[in-house]
């Protein structure tokens, strides 16, 4: 077939395919234009999933009639200065592609009035056909209306998802841009009523954005969000990190913003994963908002047709900053668990109509009477806590309070001045042991303890081989194993922190952990998992009776340990019920 030059309308439709993928892309481009025009209020209306109508109205600078006519031409932009420099982009747009692309595939009408002028004009582009300018009636800013999206490209129309899905995508775009631009007021109307109304926030992101955060990421998030703020050289990051117990099945609730532009970025996403690491359960994603400020010449935004991705000139510096900032914020949160969990617990509490048969009976002084041998890793604090229940009692001033009782040999019940705290003893202790193991490893070595009688553990041949192959690495973690016959290993030393619990169980789990990998390498790669497995075996089991000293020691330890608000599997280690809420339950308030 002979080669021919394509007609301009077709060229434009093809180009539009890159910029306008779905209705939400139109909404994104129009809001970005409004932001670039300095708008303080942006109103978005959509119906039919954005396919029948999208209208974005702003109170920005507006356009002079000659600019309005140029705006719908390809490669016409007011945003690049005369020196044609793509390394100093300070605006969200810069290509002059969005409006002509939209005009090529839909019926586009723009009305605009230049600030400082009384005259308004309108222009229409219908499937790529441009009509002459007409006078219009509007007093400020610009309104862009897009009808019958993709009517000119029916093939694309076939790829639209359900109206609900497209509507959801539009809402997502508005939320992302609204978080990126907290000082601009937004409204989104789909159907009859405004589905989102966000007044402008004064001040910086950190100080005044919490209300917007609540509206967008949910009150759960706002209640538990940890402020993040760090800078290194010209790079800065600020935002809010969700507590690790607040996780979601996907990354939709991660809002990453670079220089006011919401982005999807592999590097940033992986930095987030690294920072949260083993604090969130496998396959789950934390919630957060991170706003990065990067000098414009250190980032290339011209690498993706919808400008959703970017490239950093110094990716390592960006990654390091994000990881450190998040780590610091999460570490500062220490033992805090989620407020929402406590709320949930409260809602689950029932007020029985009659006295139930007691599921647990406290010992006379609130504690189980007989106490067992003290827990290895727990140091007993001084002071007798028995029996007392006064407000000024020692211990109640601590964040996790004074231990009062043990429930079912599994949960510690403690009281602070104004709350009841329930701790899962195994989950909590497991986290403490894990953090200690990690620290010891980082500080040069995990202390070992010689077993008086070496323990022979029977496994299947392959598992024994895997453990034997990893022996040098395991030794650095405090576990000394040697091959013993064809299908067993003998354990001679274990980390002192672990005591002498279920060594067989530990080795079986470790052998599984080392599955599909190569000996020593796999231990290094999965260090956190291996240590977590050890911690699990080294910690107080549910079902173990604790004495008051042991319980209080555990509580004090939790307060002093970073990340102790959740166990290694991302489950919470404690919940707190405020006295005020308990009073509400009993209708005392
Ligand atoms: N809401 C608006 N208010 C004022 N001027 C606008 C508005 N929308 C568009 N313009 C003007 O029209 C021009 C073309 O807009 P268009 O979105 O097509 O390209 P761009 O924003 O320059 O670049 P990009 O294609 O990267 O978005 C802009 O450069 C701007 O001057
Ligand atoms: Mg634009």
DSSP per position, 537-581? HHSPPTT----HHHHHHHHHHHHHSTTTTB-TTS-BSEEEEEHHH
The residue that leads in pLDDT, 191 or 128, is 128
Q: Quick one: which ligand is closest to 97's CA?
A: 1
Q: Is 586 strand, coil or helix? A: coil
| R_g (Cα) of the chain, nearest Å | 31
> Rounded to an integer, what distance in angstroms lies between the CA atom of residue 256 and that of residue 176?
9
Output the CA torsion sign for 253, 259, 265, 267: negative
Provide the pLDDT for residue 382: 39
58 lines ligand 1 (CB under 6 A): yes
Please give the number of the atom of ligand 1 that sits closest to the Cα of 141: 3
Beta sheet of 288-293, edge-to-edge order: 226-232, 235-241, 288-293, 254-258, 261-262
Q: Which residue intervals of 351-453 are DSSP H helices?
A: 425-442
For atom 26 of ligand 1, the residue with the nearest CA is: 93
For atom 29 of ligand 1, the residue with the nearest CA is: 77
> Rounded to an integer, what distance in angstroms lies between the CA atom of residue 486 and that of residue 186?
70
- pLDDT confidence tier of residue 493, bands split at 50, 70 and 90: very high
The alpha carbon of 97 and the centre of ligand 2 are apart by a number of angstroms equal to: 7
Q: Which residue intervals of 65-162 are DSSP H helices?
A: 65-71, 98-105, 154-157
Record the tokens describing residue 47, joined without a space: 């119906």
- pLDDT confidence tier of residue 58, bands split at 50, 70 and 90: very high
- pLDDT confidence tier of residue 363, bands split at 50, 70 and 90: very low
> Rounded to an integer, what distance in angstroms lies between the CA atom of residue 571 and that of residue 280?
8
Please give the number of the atom of ligand 1 that sits closest to the Cα of 77: 29
The alpha carbon of 113 and the centre of ligand 1 are apart by a number of angstroms equal to: 14
> Rounded to an integer, what distance in angstroms lies between the CA atom of residue 249 and that of residue 282?
10
Residue 500 predicted with pLDDT over 80: no
Residues 447-467 have pLDDT tens digits of 898 988 899 998 887 788 888
| In contact, 433 and 535? CB cutoff 8 Å | yes
Residue ranges with strand state E in 220-286: 226-232, 235-241, 247-248, 254-258, 261-262, 285-286
For atom 24 of ligand 1, the residue with the nearest CA is: 93
* Longest Cα–Cα distance in the chain: 98
For atom 8 of ligand 1, the residue with the nearest CA is: 33
Provide the pLDDT for residue 388: 37
The alpha carbon of 581 and the centre of ligand 1 are apart by a number of angstroms equal to: 53
Closest by alpha carbon to 217, among 194, 167, 187, 251?
251
> Rounded to an integer, what distance in angstroms lies between the CA atom of residue 121 and that of residue 311?
39
- pLDDT confidence tier of residue 497, bands split at 50, 70 and 90: confident
Closest by alpha carbon to 400, among 577, 204, 163?
577
37 lines ligand 1 (CB under 6 A): yes
Beta-strand pair 261-262/285-286: unpaired
Provide the pLDDT for residue 223: 82
H or E element in which residue 129 lies: strand 129-130
CA distances from residue 200 to 91, 209, 243, 476, 507 in whole angstroms, order as listed: 20, 9, 26, 55, 57
Q: Quick one: which ligand is closest to 306's CA?
A: 1
The alpha carbon of 268 and the centre of ligand 2 are apart by a number of angstroms equal to: 25
Closest by alpha carbon to 289, among 221, 344, 234, 345?
221
Average pLDDT of span 425-437: 90
- pLDDT confidence tier of residue 299, bands split at 50, 70 and 90: very high
Q: Quick one: which ligand is closest to 101's CA?
A: 1
């Amino acid at each position: 077939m002979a080669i021919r030059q394509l007609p301009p309308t077709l060229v434009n439709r093809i180009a539009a395919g890159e910029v306008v993928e779905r209705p939400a892309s139109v909404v994104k481009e129009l809001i970005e234009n409004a932001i670039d025009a300095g708008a303080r209020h942006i109103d978005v209306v959509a119906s039919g999933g954005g396919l029948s109508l999208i209208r974005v109205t702003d109170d920005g600078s507006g356009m002079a009639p000659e600019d309005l006519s140029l705006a719908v031409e390809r490669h016409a932009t007011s945003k690049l200065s005369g020196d044609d420099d793509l390394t100093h982009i300070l605006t969200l747009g810069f290509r002059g592609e969005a409006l002509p692309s939209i005009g090529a595939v839909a019926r586009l009408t723009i009305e605009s009035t230049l600030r400082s002028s009384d005259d308004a004009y309108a222009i229409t582009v219908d499937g790529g056909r441009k009509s002459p300018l007409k006078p219009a009636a509007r007093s400020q800013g610009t309104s862009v209306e897009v009808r019958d999206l993709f009517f000119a490209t029916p093939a694309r129309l076939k790829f639209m998802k359900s109206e609900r899905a497209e509507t959801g995508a539009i809402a997502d775009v508005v939320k992302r841009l609204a978080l990126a631009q907290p000082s601009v007021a937004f409204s989104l109307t789909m159907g009859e009523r405004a589905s989102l109304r966000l007044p402008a926030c004064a001040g910086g992101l950190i100080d005044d954005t919490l209300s917007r955060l609540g509206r967008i990421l949910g009150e759960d998030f706002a209640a538990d969000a940890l402020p993040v703020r760090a800078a290194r050289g010209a790079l800065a990051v600020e935002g809010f990190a969700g507590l690790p117990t607040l996780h979601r099945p996907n990354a939709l609730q991660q809002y990453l913003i670079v220089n006011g532009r919401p982005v999807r970025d592999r590097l940033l996403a992986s930095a987030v994963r690294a920072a949260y690491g083993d604090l969130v359960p496998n396959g789950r994603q934390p919630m957060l908002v991170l706003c990065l400020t990067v000098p414009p010449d250190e980032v290339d935004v011209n690498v993706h047709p919808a400008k959703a991705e970017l490239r950093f000139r110094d990716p390592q510096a960006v990654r390091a900053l994000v990881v450190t900032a998040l780590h610091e914020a999460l570490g500062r949160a220490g033992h805090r668990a989620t407020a929402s969990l406590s709320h949930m617990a409260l809602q689950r509490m029932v007020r029985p109509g009659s006295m139930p048969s007691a599921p647990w009976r406290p010992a006379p002084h609130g504690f189980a009477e007989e106490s067992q041998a003290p827990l290895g890793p727990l140091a007993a604090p001084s002071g007798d806590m028995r029996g007392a229940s006064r407000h000024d009692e020692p211990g109640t001033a601590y964040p996790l309070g004074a231990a009062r009782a043990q429930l079912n040999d599994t949960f510690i019940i403690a009281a602070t001045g104004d709350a009841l705290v329930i701790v899962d003893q195994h989950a909590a202790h497991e986290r403490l042991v894990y953090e200690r193991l990690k620290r010891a490893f980082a500080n040069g070595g995990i202390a070992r303890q010689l077993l008086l009688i070496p323990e022979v553990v029977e496994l299947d041949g392959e598992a024994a081989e895997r453990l034997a192959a990893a022996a040098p690495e395991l030794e650095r973690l405090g576990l000394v194993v040697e091959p013993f016959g064809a299908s067993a290993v003998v354990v001679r030393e274990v980390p002192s922190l672990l005591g002498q619990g279920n060594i067989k169980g530990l080795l079986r789990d470790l052998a599984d952990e080392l599955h599909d990998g190569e000996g020593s390498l796999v231990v290094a790669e999965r260090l956190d998992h291996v240590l977590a497995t050890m911690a699990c075996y080294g910690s107080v089991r549910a079902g173990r009776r604790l004495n008051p000293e042991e319980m209080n020691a555990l509580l004090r330890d939790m307060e002093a340990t970073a990340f102790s608000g959740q166990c290694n599997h991302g489950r919470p280690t404690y919940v707190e019920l405020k006295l005020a809420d308990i009073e509400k339950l009993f209708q005392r308030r």
